[in-house]
C-alpha cells in the first residue's frame, strides 16, 4: 500500500508569483483535503476534493484553487503569492467524505515566500 | 480560526513518566482525532474517538472524550524519548465533508 506523497518538499517563491503543489493520495482513497499550517500553529482546512469536485472549503480567498484528477491525485494552486502564504502545506487522503474514516497525511510541502 | 485550546502548550517529562494532554473544543462533533507531528513534517494519525464513545485505547495511548464538557484528553503511558513531538487534537463536525479543525497543539519533550 502506497502512502500519501507530496511534491516538491521545499519551494521558495517571491511575492506575486504563482505556485502549484502536488499530492498523490493513498491507494484506494478518493478524497483529498488540503491544509495550511503556519509556523507554531495547527493546520487550517483549505478545501476538499471528492471525485474531482470541490465539496468543501475553508476560509481562504479564491486565489487558492485546486484540482483533482481521475486517479484521485490533486493539485493546490496559489496565485499572487503573499508573504503570509509562507507555511507548510499538507494534503490528506481518505476514502469517502463522511469523516468517519481517518485522514492520512503526506509529509507536506514547505513554501517560503520572499 | 482554531476550534479550541490544547493544554498545556508545552510539556517536559522524563522517560518512563506518563504524559497527559488536554483538548477543548467549542461546537458539537462527529468524532475527535489525535495526531502527532515530528519536526514540522507530516501528521501521523494516532487514534479516533467517536462522539458516542467515552474512552479508547491503542497500545500506550488512552483517549477520553467528554462531550458534555466538550473536552478530550490523551494519555501516553511509559513515555519514551521517541515520543518527543507536537500533538494535535482535531475535531470533525457536522458538515457533509470531512473537514478537520485542529487545535494549536502541545509540544511534548521526553528527556532520556
The pLDDT score that the predictor gives to residue B98 is: 74
Location of C-alpha cell 507531528: B37
The pLDDT score that the predictor gives to residue A26 is: 87
Contacts of A102 in chain B (CB under 8 A): 33, 45, 48
Average pLDDT over chain A, rounded to an integer: 92
The pLDDT score that the predictor gives to residue A55 is: 86
B43: nearest CB among A41, A90, A94 = A90
Interface contact B97-A97, CB threshold 8 A: yes
Taking only the tens place, the pLDDT of each residue in B47-94 is: 999 999 999 999 999 999 999 999 999 999 999 999 999 999 999 876
Interatomic CA distance for residues A25 and A78, integer angstroms? 20
The pLDDT score that the predictor gives to residue A2 is: 65
**How many other β-carbons are positioned within 10 Å of the β-carbon of residue A31?**
26
The share of chain A scoring above pLDDT 90, in percent, equals 75
Interface contact B98-A103, CB threshold 8 A: yes
The pLDDT score that the predictor gives to residue B55 is: 98
Q: Which of B90, B89, B79, B92 is nearest to B30 (CA)?
A: B92
Average pLDDT over chain B, rounded to an integer: 91
Mean pLDDT of B7-26: 95
Q: Which of B95, B96, B90, B98 is nearest to B4 (CA)?
A: B90
| pLDDT greater than 60 at residue A18 | yes
Confidence of residue B5 (pLDDT cuts 50, 70, 90): confident
Using a CB cutoff of 8 Å and minimum separation of 24, what contacts does B57-64 make?
Answer: B61/B34, B63/B32, B63/B34
A97: nearest CB among B31, B42, B98 = B98
The pLDDT score that the predictor gives to residue B1 is: 44
Taking only the tens place, the pLDDT of each residue in A54-93 is: 988 999 999 999 999 998 899 999 999 999 999 999 999 9
A88: nearest CB among B40, B98, B105 = B40
Interatomic CA distance for residues A32 and B107, integer angstroms? 27
Amino acid at each position: 500500500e502506497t502512502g500519501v506523497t507530496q511534491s516538491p518538499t521545499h519551494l521558495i517563491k517571491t511575492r506575486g508569483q504563482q505556485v502549484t503543489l502536488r499530492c498523490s493520495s493513498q491507494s484506494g482513497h478518493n478524497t483529498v483535503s488540503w491544509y495550511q499550517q503556519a509556523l507554531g500553529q495547527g493546520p487550517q482546512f483549505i478545501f476538499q476534493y471528492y471525485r474531482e469536485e470541490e465539496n468543501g472549503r475553508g476560509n481562504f480567498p479564491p486565489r487558492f484553487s485546486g484540482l483533482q484528477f481521475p486517479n484521485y491525485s490533486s493539485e493546490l494552486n496559489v496565485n499572487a503569492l503573499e508573504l503570509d502564504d509562507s507555511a507548510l502545506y499538507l494534503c490528506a487522503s481518505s476514502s469517502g467524505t463522511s469523516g468517519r474514516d481517518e485522514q492520512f497525511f503526506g509529509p507536506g510541502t514547505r513554501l517560503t515566500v520572499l | 480560526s482554531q476550534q479550541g485550546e490544547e493544554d498545556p502548550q508545552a510539556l517536559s517529562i522524563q522517560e518512563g513518566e506518563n504524559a497527559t494532554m488536554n483538548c477543548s473544543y467549542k461546537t458539537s462533533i462527529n468524532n475527535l482525532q489525535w495526531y502527532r507531528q515530528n519536526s514540522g513534517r507530516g501528521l501521523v494519525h494516532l487514534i479516533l474517538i467517536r462522539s458516542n464513545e467515552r474512552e479508547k485505547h491503542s497500545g500506550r495511548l488512552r483517549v477520553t472524550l467528554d462531550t458534555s464538557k466538550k473536552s478530550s484528553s490523551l494519555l501516553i503511558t511509559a513515555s519514551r524519548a521517541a515520543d518527543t513531538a507536537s500533538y494535535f487534537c482535531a475535531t470533525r463536525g457536522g458538515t457533509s465533508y470531512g473537514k478537520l479543525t485542529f487545535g494549536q497543539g502541545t509540544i511534548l519533550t521526553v528527556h532520556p
